[in-house]
Amino acid sequence: MEKYQGVIVEESLEDNRLLNEITINSVRISKDENPSDRWHLYTVSVSEELIDKLSKNIKDKWYMHFWEEKNVIAIFKGKIFKFNYDDKGSWKAATEYGLSIGIPHEQLDFPIG
């Protein structure tokens, strides 16, 4: 059941053919002048099974997160963290891991909605 919402940056995927298995609600392309700098952002609905598959297909030093109400799942290459959005203390493991692989703190804000 596709109960989680999120955004997938196509450039973060090792194999973008995985997008064929995902319910895509909308697509947006960043406005960078240079085409090679543009990101393709997909607003999606996914199941936990697909989230697990995505965690195995995401490139190093990238992350994605998905939410269902206040329940958040953050994924990194081979790592999955679950936490409650309202309980900032529950973010600690995901934030520390993201920092340890070089993701800037300001990018580890896990926006929902």
Instruction: Please report how many Cα atoms fall inside a 13 Å half-sphere around the Cα of residue 75, on the Cβ side.
Output: 26
CB of 71 closer than 8 Å to CB of 82: yes
Contacts of 99 by beta carbon, 8 Å cutoff, 6+ apart: 105, 108
Each residue of 71-102: pLDDT tens digit?
Answer: 999 999 999 999 999 999 999 999 999 999 99
What pLDDT score was predicted for residue 62? 97
Confidence of residue 1 (pLDDT cuts 50, 70, 90): confident
23 vs 55: CA distance, rounded Å = 17
Domain ranges of the chain: 4-104
CA 99 distance to own-chain centroid: 15
54 vs 14: CA distance, rounded Å = 10
